[in-house]
Chains A and B, each alone.
Chain A
Amino acid sequence: MAPHTEQLTRPAVRLRGLTRSFAGRTVLEGIDLDLPAGQFTALLGHSGSGKSTLLRAIAGLDHGVAGGGQLTAPERVSVVFQDSRLLPWRRVLDNVLLGLDGKDSGERGRAALAEVGLAGRERAWPGELSGGEAQRAALARSLVREPELLLADEPFGALDALTRIRMHHLLRELWTRHRPSVLLVTHDVDEAIVLADRVLVLDRGRIGLDLTIDRPHPRSYREPLLGEYRERLLAALGVTEDHR
């Protein structure tokens, strides 16, 4: 039990006074944030609120963006994008193994594909997969590297409603098994409530609300107690009764 507790106390990601601006417009105005190791966090915000900017900063993908502040993140970081971003000229297994070497990598890739329910599709071309399958392959690609931190930028945004629900279950299941820290960027309040144990609302470049959701999993959209969280999150996002 002891190492697990220790893990939770040591933050995986630490931000201090993180600022970012594009062409003179400040997007992040000094963010202070700790993400404990192994925590499932969702980041909500309007489009243009800077949530993708924050995620890209943590991923180290913001070349040439002006800004300052302190930022520490783990060594092994995986990113899942909104599009599956599979290379169309590599078969599914080779896509999962992109950037990975070592003699047992093939086995690990196969195992990761089996874990997301794509066993037997190793030799398929990405063009032959459905949207949901492609996103599963992208999940396998991020998991096979055993990340300490998994960054997901609206990973289910392009999927249909039914596929999205199945992917929610899958993501939560994978998290339970591998326990990386997760930062899930989304604009879907229900998705955040159902999946995450902590929900952040990014508002005008600052963390406007930091909400811990202490409800057992798996959660259902219809669970009445979640309604209270929904109200608070919508209020923080500036959506009030008369807007609906």
Chain B
Amino acid sequence: MTQVSQHKDPLLRIVKRDAISRPKAYTIRLLAVLLSLVVSGAFIFAVTHLDPIRVYEAIFDGAFGTSRRSWVTIRDAMILLCIGVGLAPAFKMKFWNIGAEGQILIGGVITAGIMRAYGSALPTPALLVVMAAVSLLCGCLWGVIPAVFKAYWNTNETLFTLMMNYVAIQLTSYCVALWENPVGSNTVGVINQMTGYGWFPALFGQNYGLNVVLVLALTAGMYIYLKHSKQGYEISVVGDSQNTARYAGINVKKVTIRTMAISGAICGLAGFIEVAGVSHTISTDTAGGRGFTAIIVAWLAHFNTLVMILISFLLVFLQKGAVQIASQFNLNDYASNIITGIILFFILGSEFFINYRVILRGRKEADGK
């Protein structure tokens, strides 16, 4: 009869960790970032043959070399952070809103539209309030549509929100063609360039002062909302287990729709900040893939908006640095996407070592609990 071979333990065994101390977890993450920087450095060296140390000098120079560069870094980090803050409640609820790209664009388009049409009709502060409110509403609408279908018919939200991005992109293309300036350029140009109507005013003598204030306020607000509000509590419960949520008497449909309304609205507001406070124009690149990058920001920060500040800065810092290197060596700035990718891959991979332990065959679970 069948004689089954001797039972053997597998070579590697993966065991879920019970708990890991916070310092240890952050050490692992830090190691991952360092490792990714080494790999990125190697990549840049391979392409440019630049001394690796000088690579990092150049990166730093690109991000903070001048006061202007510093502010551009801060400005871009703020936009990325704002989107991440918008995504946090949705992802905390385990609702895969990968439609931030579209929600930003819709908010941006409507802002640009109002800026063009009513720039001279309303004083700038009033205009800003109107634009902010309408962009909130539009982003909210863009987020609520997939949420309603998810809540009532369990329509796959990942794919739905993804498609909504492209509907928004085409709408933007339509508006760009509609508002073309000058004719034939296929761009909108800088809106109200002469007058500055509807632009963010300088705050504390800084062009991007208002951006920083707005986004940091949102970040703090979202932190409180998620951690200390009743609605934030409901989001956590729904995200953990819908059964438990029902047991606790939480209306899961209502929470789903409400949370996506908030998520979409903040992403729409990010579009407003980008158009009124940064670029003063609109194009299909206004979101520029940041709706996707922000997902990763939110995910890596475990939806803690304060940690997102750090991650946003890290990513934008490296991107700016990469752009600097690219321009020094007459390469294009897509190098920054490569570096972003490498860093994210490493951080994603490192989560495994935070959640699991790998045990080699023959070794007992010595460092068990």
A and B pair up: no
A interface residues with partner B (beta carbon < 8 Å): none
